Structure 1
Amino acid sequence: MRLSPSLLALLAVTPALAEPKVLVDLPPVHSLVAQVMDGVGTPTLLLDRATSGHDLSLRPSQAGAAQEADLIFWVGPAMSPGLEKPFETLGENARIIALMEQPETLIIDSANAEAHLHNGEEEHEAHDDHDHEDHAEHDHEAHDDHDHEAHDDHNHEDHAEHDHEAHDDHDHENHAEHNHEAHDDHEDHAEGAHDGHDHGPEDPHVWLDPVNAQAWLPLIAKALSEKDPENAEAYSANATRAAEQLAAQTTEIAATLAPYEGREYLATHRAFAYFESRFHLAPAHALSGVDGNAAGPRAMEEVRLAAEEGITCLITEPDTSSATVATLTEGTALTAHGLDPLGRDIAPGPDHYSTLLQEIAATYAACLK
């Protein structure tokens, strides 16, 4: 059948539906979103290489991206508190999804991180059987009353993931399907993991557990599909493929690090608890907690004493000063190995997250030999 010239002209000027405008906070999360959007569009990344994730805020030049966004994916206010209010005001027309607040996300409470990590074997076994597919379609929109205790007046009906100031009425005992105690993989959590009790501040470096990342991929695909149903099939296929690849990589990393399970080391920042717990690693001391605040003399002394007891591996970060590294290693057998939990030296994009995991695993293996 031949189309008339007038119909052809109409089709020529009819614009195709544009892909969603997506804004993402950190490079690892951006990488996951980019994988799901592969072949459809490209998400916008907020963080530059000079900024810490804890200090991330919305620059004036980025305000337009927030205002125009259809979807915003971010870890949440525990990681980047400076983004919360700008997102709520400038991103009022966007659907804002805090991945740390999703019920599928494994959370470590930072106040008990060391106890949690030293019970890593129990923790790891408890999470190996987590079926994220069973929860892949769960969303905050389906949990209007979810209570994160620190957020008080959240209106889930308007923006399920948007407002972090309130989650008033969630009863963790009455909603067993979303209670970490009720999941097979969560029931044996050590003290540092979520079990419906108040353990203290939550460790926000949630992307460093690849099982969390696997859980987020279908959530990302679902959110994109709701904004762009025309490409839903592509989003779903991309998420499935990415999850399979990530599961295979997780198995490979576990095999690489198996010889070093339980071998103690030192760190300048307690940023890798999720990775350490997943792969049975055992930090002895860290200079600073999950918030990255500067260490005091007592913390420095504890690390020095541990080094004098024969520990040889020190994990540092780009923000660690050379003077601090020198103070810790001088006169000891410590060898410093640098790691960035955000992978700021890795090119952003779909391959960023897998490259980051591989670099972390290789660095731990080299340091712990």
Structure 2
Amino acid sequence: MAGVGEPALLLPAGATPHSYSLRPSDARKLARADLVIRVGPALESFLAKPLANIAHRARVVTLMRDVHLSLIPHSGHDDQESDPHIWLDPENARRIVRHVTAVLARADPDNGSRYTANSKKLLARIDRLDGFISTTLKPVRRMPYIVFHDGYQYFERRYGLNHVAAITLSPERTPGARRLQQIRGIIRANGARCVFTEPQFSPTLAHALTRGANTRIATLDPLGDGIRPGPDAWFKMMRGLAASLRACLAGG
């Protein structure tokens, strides 16, 4: 939307959509919105009621439903829903850009040429990023590692990565002693080089799992915690994922 306006962001940096509650200021933003873009109810469950209240007058774009994305089943979930972490695959990002560009141009035809020009620049940036990440991660493809929760499938599929287990299937669930013992066995059996935590959650479990093992601990951030919101945020977050994986798995 550069040169036209600036979108309002509902989820602040450092927050997780799994447990977020709307603030009064968020409700005011929604009350004024003509267009709301969300990933889907599986991720932003906190938006269900507020969006129902404005659906009669505001356009709501649900990316997982409205965009033809390459979706992956959500591991460990019994309801057959798709993994909502769709933004971690640059090909999905390209499809989202094209769809949102079309939505904006229809809603605001006077600025349609501006949206199209912005889209072309953004798609070119995504192409460059995709190539950079592919080159960065090529030396560590297939190296085994453990993640905090199973939220990286899109990134892993895109770049040929090999996580062998997740500490928890959902951030809201604390794994029990039996699950932790299973993870320790997986670390030993696979020679997992790293256990990755996330900045929104305590690293205590990772430290317990790696005690006495030759396994490093590092951080992956799929939400861009600490990154200033704006047009560069997604690119910085994606580069950060690649850098963390490369550094830990390669031992650098």
Q: State TM-score, norm by structure 2.
A: 0.92
Counterparts of 1:304 and 1:112 in 2: how far apart (Å)?
19
Please tell me the residue identity of whatever aligns with 2:211.
E
Counterparts of 2:125 and 2:197 in 1: how far apart (Å)?
29
TM superposition shift of 1:219: 1.1
Aligned-residue identity in percent: 35
Cα pair distance change 1:90/1:280, threshold 3 Å? same
Counterparts of 2:239 and 2:205 in 1: how far apart (Å)?
27
Moved more, 202-211 or 289-298: 289-298
Counterpart secondary structure, 1:92: coil
Q: Is 2:155 the counterpart of 1:275?
A: yes
Counterparts of 2:53 and 2:201 in 1: how far apart (Å)?
34
Moved more, 292-301 or 243-252: 292-301
Contact 2:43/2:84 (8 A) holds in 1: yes
Partner residue, 2:68 = 104
Counterparts of 1:280 and 1:361 in 2: how far apart (Å)?
12
Cα pair distance change 1:91/1:50, threshold 3 Å? farther
Counterparts of 2:170 and 2:18 in 1: how far apart (Å)?
10
Counterparts of 1:291 and 1:106 in 2: how far apart (Å)?
23
After superposition, residues 13-52 of structure 1 pair within 5 angstroms as 37-52=1-16
TM superposition shift of 1:288: 1.3
Contact 1:203/1:290 (8 A) holds in 2: no
What is the aligned counterpart of 2:115 among 235, 239, 251?
235
Structure 2 unaligned regions, length at least 5: none
TM superposition shift of 1:91: 4.8
Partner residue, 1:327 = 208
Counterparts of 1:292 and 1:273 in 2: how far apart (Å)?
18
Counterparts of 2:203 and 2:214 in 1: how far apart (Å)?
17
Contact 1:109/1:199 (8 A) holds in 2: no
TM superposition shift of 1:40: 1.1
The runs of at least 4 consecutive aligned structure 1 residues that moved more than 3 Å come to: none
Contact 1:218/1:240 (8 A) holds in 2: no
What is the aligned counterpart of 2:237 among 356, 359, 364?
356
Counterpart secondary structure, 1:299: helix
Partner residue, 1:301 = 181
Counterparts of 2:27 and 2:56 in 1: how far apart (Å)?
12
Counterparts of 2:17 and 2:87 in 1: how far apart (Å)?
12
What is the aligned counterpart of 1:262 among 142, 164, 175?
142
TM superposition shift of 1:323: 2.3
TM superposition shift of 1:56: 2.8
Q: Is 2:220 the counterpart of 1:339?
A: yes
Structure of larger gyration radius: 1
Q: Is 2:223 the counterpart of 1:367?
A: no
Q: Is 2:93 the counterpart of 1:213?
A: yes
Count of aligned positions = 249
Counterpart secondary structure, 1:365: helix
Please tell me the residue identity of whatever aligns with 1:259.
P
TM superposition shift of 1:100: 1.3
Contact 1:286/1:299 (8 A) holds in 2: no
1:289-325 Cα deviation digits (max 9, x unpaired): 2555222222211221222342221111123323212
Contact 1:262/1:280 (8 A) holds in 2: yes
Counterparts of 2:172 and 2:90 in 1: how far apart (Å)?
22
Counterparts of 1:362 and 1:335 in 2: how far apart (Å)?
15
Contact 2:104/2:112 (8 A) holds in 1: yes
TM superposition shift of 1:281: 0.3
Q: State TM-score, norm by structure 1.
A: 0.64
Counterpart secondary structure, 1:283: strand
Counterpart secondary structure, 1:315: strand
Cα pair distance change 1:50/1:91, threshold 3 Å? farther
Counterparts of 2:172 and 2:135 in 1: how far apart (Å)?
30
Counterparts of 1:112 and 1:299 in 2: how far apart (Å)?
13
1:163-220 Cα deviation digits (max 9, x unpaired): xxxxxxxxxxxxxxxxxxxxxxxxxxxxxxxxxxx98122111111111011111111
Counterparts of 1:301 and 1:289 in 2: how far apart (Å)?
15
What is the aligned counterpart of 1:287 among 130, 151, 167?
167
1:8-44 Cα deviation digits (max 9, x unpaired): xxxxxxxxxxxxxxxxxxxxxxxxxxxxx01111000
What is the aligned counterpart of 2:104 among 208, 215, 224?
224
Counterparts of 1:81 and 1:263 in 2: how far apart (Å)?
34
Please tell me the residue identity of whatever aligns with 1:247.
D
Please tell me the residue identity of whatever aligns with 1:71.
L
